[in-house]
A = this chain, B = another copy of it.
Amino acid sequence: MTDKNSVLVDPSRRRLLGAGAVATLSGALAFGATAPAQAADKPEEANIYDVTSWKIKGRAEVTAQVDIGAVINDIIADIKKRQATAGTRPGAVITIPPGDYDLRTQVVVDISYLTIAGFGHGFFSRSIKDNVDTSGWFDLQPGGSHIRVLTPSTAPQAFLVRRAGSPRLSGVVFRDFCLDGVEFPPDGNSYRNGRTGIEVASDNDSFHITGMGFVYLEHALVVRGADALRIHDNMIAECGNCVELTGAGQATIVSDNLMGAGPDGATLLAENHEGLLITGNNLFPRGRSLVELTGCNRCSVTANRFQGFSPGMMRLINNCKENLVTGNHFRRGMEGFPPFLGTSNGLDDLYGVVHIAGDNNLFSNNLIAYDVSPDRIVPPNAQPTMVLIAGGDSNVVATNHVVSNVEAQHVVLDASTVRSKVLDSGPASKVTSYSADTAVRPTP
């Protein structure tokens, strides 16, 4: 991906991708194999592993059912042993047949081009199960290629993907299996168990996460330093947090996913990303936020569906610049599930269903449907804010439609905003600017 070449010359880009990128570029020698790829060795095997047939030498009792983590680590060790030079490392595929597997040992992925693939995402609503009488139920847990994450708190990630040195890990694929955190003690409603499904902890290139199921993990998927990542067509629900793109990143797609986080977590969080494309996702409750961009520039949030129970369903914070938010549907409803009645993400209804702080963002063609009982609105008797431009230069809010069960302000602009435009997004009475230079064209 040629854009990465920019790393070579642009100091700010180097910073963007963090310390790992610098290491990549300095060619830090962290591994002995330096044979060039002029004439590739020919692998003897087909590089296809099945976790159910793999035996750890001297530990026959550790099957994939007992500890799939130990098995996969042993397979990775075998791959590394067999693929011994820098020019002969195509990686491998590790297959996980449908079945129930316990993961007691954290898997560490430190090779490129590894595909870990199951045969079914196996999602099951543990939350319903934990809140009803299940006598007579046919199914009591998820299935498919089903991994129960039983990692210790000292190494909570089921899959930790990380490598120092250069180049960045590239082309790792997770597909079509289920990562299940098993429990949210004590009652299934805490959304806390310290467990993480997958964490990519060093800079990475062209990873692909697709067809997966995640359930009952405090953190489903964390990727730091993403470049050309695809998170596509997954089911990520009943997790404390769903997708967290941390550190920084660029040129990533998050699309066609079904996602819903716990009441305190983020459904999709991205930090310091450039050119992130979030499209075609169906995002449902709960989540303290559904899309939360912090310090992100020139990203797109298009054609998604949002359903949430709190203010700040979408947030562009910490000076987000030049982002496009168009063609989305925002449903702000209210919590109806007894365990979570009265919970709050700490924000009030003046924060905005959508909250934007930064410059030159375009928020257009969205539909916001607000339906909250008057007695649940905070502060009491306030008119809730649909879109808050909390600060920044030259933001545009255009051609949005709002429907609300209560009197609401469609757009509010704080005094620190400058040169904002609000077009065709409600009558004059529903657009309030505390800034002198806001241009407002009320909907006729």
Pick from B132, B140, B394: contact of A403, CB below 8 A.
B394
Is the pair B232, A228 in contact by a Cβ cutoff of 8 Å? no
CA of A98 to CA of B277, assembled, Å: 29
Chain B residues within an 8 Å CB radius of A282: 228, 251-253, 275, 277
Is the pair B285, A136 in contact by a Cβ cutoff of 8 Å? no
Q: Is A262 an interface residue (CB 8 A)?
A: yes
CA of A30 to CA of B139, assembled, Å: 12
Is the pair A143, B99 in contact by a Cβ cutoff of 8 Å? no
Chain B nearest Cβ from A429, distance in angstroms: 14
Chain B residues within an 8 Å CB radius of A24: 128, 132
Query: Beyond A1-B127, A6-B336, A144-B173: 15 further Cβ-contacts under 8 Å?
Result: A1-B258, A2-B127, A8-B132, A27-B133, A30-B138, A89-B139, A115-B119, A129-B167, A137-B165, A251-B307, A275-B284, A277-B329, A303-B303, A324-B329, A398-B399
CA of A125 to CA of B166, assembled, Å: 12
CA of A105 to CA of B400, assembled, Å: 52
Interface size class of A (residues with CB under 8 A): 35 or more
Known A123-B205, A322-B369, A364-B399; contact A93-B98, beta-carbon cutoff 8 A: yes
CA of A328 to CA of B325, assembled, Å: 10
Q: Is A338 an interface residue (CB 8 A)?
A: yes
Chain B residues within an 8 Å CB radius of A27: 132-137
Is the pair A167, B128 in contact by a Cβ cutoff of 8 Å? yes
Q: Is A383 an interface residue (CB 8 A)?
A: no
CA of A399 to CA of B299, assembled, Å: 18
Q: 1/0 contact trace for A162-176 toward B, CB 8 Å?
A: 010111001101000
The A74-123 residues at the B interface (CB cut-off 8 A) are 86-93, 97-100, 102, 111-115, 117, 119-123
